[in-house]
Every structure is written in C-alpha cells, then in structure tokens.
Structure 1
C-alpha cells in the first residue's frame, strides 16, 4: 500500500497489547511523545500469581478504545493528521494481540490511514535509541523480559539475526515463579528484586546454567528455578503456597537467586559480543530495569571497551512509545493491508533474519 507524499509535521498512533498492558501513544518522527496512556492489569491477575491469557484479552477488549482515546486527546492531534497507525502483531498472547490488531484495523479503515505491523521484540531494542541523535545500529540486541531472553545481531532496526536465547523459562518468568515460592505478591519480579537488596548474594551457591559453555549462546533457567525450590522446601514438599523461611533467609535466597541470573545474563551477553566482534550492546525489556543487573552490566562492558545502551527505565516494560519502530517502515513507504494477521509465537530463526 502506498500513501502519497510525506508531510512536514508527521504523527503516528502506536498501539500495544501483546500481554497484559493496554497502551497507546501518539509520536512525532523525531521521537517526541505527544500523548500516552498505559492501562495495567496487575489487580486482575494477582489472585492467580501470573497472567491469565483469557482474562488479559477480555481486559484489553474493555480498555483498548478508552486508552487510545485518552492518548489522542492528550496529544491534541486530529485523526486526519496521523500519518499511519502502528500495532504490535508479534510475538505475544494470541487473544491480546488480536484485540490490538482489530482496533488498529478498525481505526485505519474509519480514518483512511495506512497500517503498520511491528515486532514487539524489535521494538524493545529500538527503544534504546529513542532520544538519541545517532543510530544505535549495528549492535548486539539483548531482550530480557518476562517472556523473552534472547540475543540478536542487529544490522538495522529491522534486519536481525538470531544468536541465541532461552531454551526453557525466560529470565523474568523465572523471577516471577521464584517470587511465588517466597510468598511475595504479584507481580513478583520487582518484589523479589526489592527483597534481594536486603540479602546476601553470596549466601547460597545456586547454579549458573550454561555459563561455562561459551560456544552456546543459550540460557536455561528451569534448573535454577528447581534448585531454589529444593533449597526452600526440600524434595518432598508438595504445597508451595507458603514459605517457612525467616525474612532474613528469604532475602538471602532472593539475593543469591538474582545474582545467579545476573551472572548468566551478563556472561552470555559478553560471549555474544566476543562472537560478533561488535562493540555496542543494546538491552531492553522489563528485566533491563533491574538495578543490580544494569550496574553489573555497565561495569563489565566498561572494562572491555563495549558501548552499552540500556533503554530508559520507563521504556523497559511494555509500552506503546517503542512503537516508534514503525517509522522505519513508513520512511520506506512500506505498509500493511487489512489482511495483516498476528503471529503469537516467538520465532527463533537460527539461520537467518527475523522478519518484521
């Protein structure tokens, strides 16, 4: 689809609904945020200690239009002034993705605007460059979140090659599950990190899976999660709804577990830098907001002369601002039609580029 000559004042509406955050933002070509709204669902999933896909989809359905309306009104931009509508179509929860895409298609049709589907994972890395005058590419892109722990060689904003990723749990997912074992409230990851600040990261020697295998740029956190489980209750415990440890012991478990994950994340990212011989590492995703992880990665990169760019904390968790990635396709007059569909699964392309 082609939509004429580009205007001088350029505005984009971006929509995000990949998991449990309903978000919309109105952005200019130079990255200025004119309007933004994020509706969280934490209170809906708290009783289940995790995101329930069906509940998430229904919540998106209720909130998507009010969220878009708020962002548009805050921006002061009329629909006729929008250049395009961008929406995350992959990867993510199927029902959640469909709600966002349906809203984007409806508005694109009603307002006669082009549609641009974007890759949620690529958008996390693209967020590292927002507000910067120079391009962040080429780089090694590292997405660390509740659903993804993946390394890519990024030649440009949309030309990526898979280097390696988790073969089981994502890092953020493991944080959340260990938090449940410790009896911490949902969402567990941030609560665990807060508890870890009062603990001793050397108190317990948890494993660092695959860290001693530099030829494998892969992560595995399932065994680490099991090691924590056995440490807390032994092999025979059946009920994990309560934790018998003292607060000091809980803090030590949290700190030691967190340190183990961080060692794996930092170690594997450095191995990726060594393999690619690139000198710039860009990190995005919810776990990138972890203070201890950021600090230790900064130290490791500085000692090796690696330029580290981590997304701003407010852009680490899911948001629509990172939908600015769509500008890269818009500049090439590359749009999608109304036949655009979602791609829920995260595709690991071991031998080629990850498509948008």
Structure 2
C-alpha cells in the first residue's frame, strides 16, 4: 500500500470508529436567530457596546495585531495596563498574559514541572491541564473528584521533592466548585504548591467577581492562579497571576508565552473595559444569579435530570449519546442552541446537555428553554 494511501486509511478508520460510537463532532456556524444557551459569555459582555468600542479604538490606535511576541517587540502599553489591572483584581503581585487559556495551562506546567515533579490532578480537570502535565514529563496522579482525603493519601505516598496540586475552580462540564479551603489545607500539610484554573469562576463568583480564589486566598496559599478572558469578560486570551518570582519565571521559561505572537492590543483594550464593568456594575452578576435560581427551581419542578451546580453551567445528565443528540436536535429545531457533550469529553454513559446561563438572557428565553426541555422529557417517558 502506498504511504499516502496508508495514511488516508488510518484517518478513515479513526473517523469510522468515532462515528459508530456517535461521538463525531460537527461544527455548526453560529446562527444569530437562535437563543444561545451554549457559550460561556456569562455576563453578556461580548456584545456590550462599550467593550466593542474599546476594542475598535484599541485596534485603530495600535493596529489589528501585536505583530510580534511579547519578548521581541509585541508588548504594548495596553498589555502592561491589563496585566496590572488583573493582578490588582485577583490580589496578586503580578500577572502575565497568554494568548489562550489552553496555552496558559500548557505554559505553566511545562515551565514549572519536570521528571522530578509529581502533579496531582482532580479527576475532572480540564484537558489543557492534563496535556500540560504530559508535556512537562512529570509524574501525574489523579485524585477522586473534589475528594481532599484521597488527595491527602496520594500526597502522603509521594517521595518527590516538588509536588503540585492542580484543580479547576469551577469544573467546566459539571459546573460544581472546587473546595478551595480544603485544597489549601491539604497542599500546605504536604508541602505542595497549589494551582487553580479559575476560568469559569472569574467574573461570576465572589463579591467583586474575582472568582473562587480571588483576594480571599493569597499567593502564599494559592501560588498559581490561572484565568481566562474569553468567558465572563467576553473577550479572548488568558493570564496567570502570582508573585513576582513566579511571573518572572514564566516569562523566561513558558514556551507557549515566549514563542507566539502577543495578544492583539485591541483585545487588551476591550478586556480592560470589560473588567471595569465587572467591578463597577454588580447588577450583571445579580441578574445572572437570579436566572440560575429560577432555572434550577423550574427544572427540578419538571423533574429534569439536573446536576448539583449553582453556577451558570447547568448540566442535564441524559446518559447515552443518542438521547443527548436527539434532545439537542429538538432544541435546535425550536430555535435554541445547547451543547451536546459526549465522550471523550465526559466519561462513558455520562453524556449531557451543557446548558449555560447568561445575564443577557431574558426570563422569556429561559421559559422557552424550559418548555422545550419539558416536551423532550415527556416524549422520553
């Protein structure tokens, strides 16, 4: 068999396996007429006119792109301003920008860990954290989800000098929140550093939207704090916050920071405006909180298979892939976009609809969603 034919056969086999398991992913072009319950724009800032205007003005003044990496000549004054604002928001000494949350997690773990490091992951951590561990070459163990006793047991067994505990803040597929207090306690008991990826908590949780960690837990308790800008803040990119020594180390050794073009200045300008809105206008968070309470109350009244989340991520556990795809299609035909999450993103037999609520939604939008879900549920009985 010719080499090119062998490669094409390999790709065809992989496709066939995934399609047979009903796990083949398809891209749908986003349709503005659909009511969107699938994205992570929790505060509705992606389409806020003030954020849009700030991005346009930033691009007009500084260009559409940064044109180079941060360490060549792509670092603009707007990047400095944003890093300082993010550090202040999270109560850290310094912060450094990354192009995406995935790149931030890869960069941190690759820069900090090596074959002499032991990394301890929550079993439901995001794929980028697991991939960062693999890239680092560190020894990696996974503890039971949100189980600090299991984590303590694994840490006690480790003979590595450098130990790193890693957890999501809000778990992206289940919507539950890590027990930060327990993670801090166990990490300190076993002389381990703690890294929290608060991608889905920032902007949503905390008195000023500073997330699961925020200013309550300092760098001495949570040395590594990762956050993304493309969710509640509505823009794009990510950051890592911590003390000066950590940030200096990342700028020197994190390959996903060093070897990529810096964030477009206009995006930094938009993020600065979004961050200011989050801090001065708590009404967006309060509106979102009311939506969460209302949706949960009504969904439980309808006996929908709802998870335990109190965050904007509200999973409906449907089990098999076929059922999830059927419900998602019915919702789509009714003008509602919801994520149909299947393996390998989630474990086998734990497929779900991942419903995400936003401050931009109206009560009418949520009622429409609930009515359609109730119809799906009745058909399934």
TM-score, reference length from structure 1: 0.33
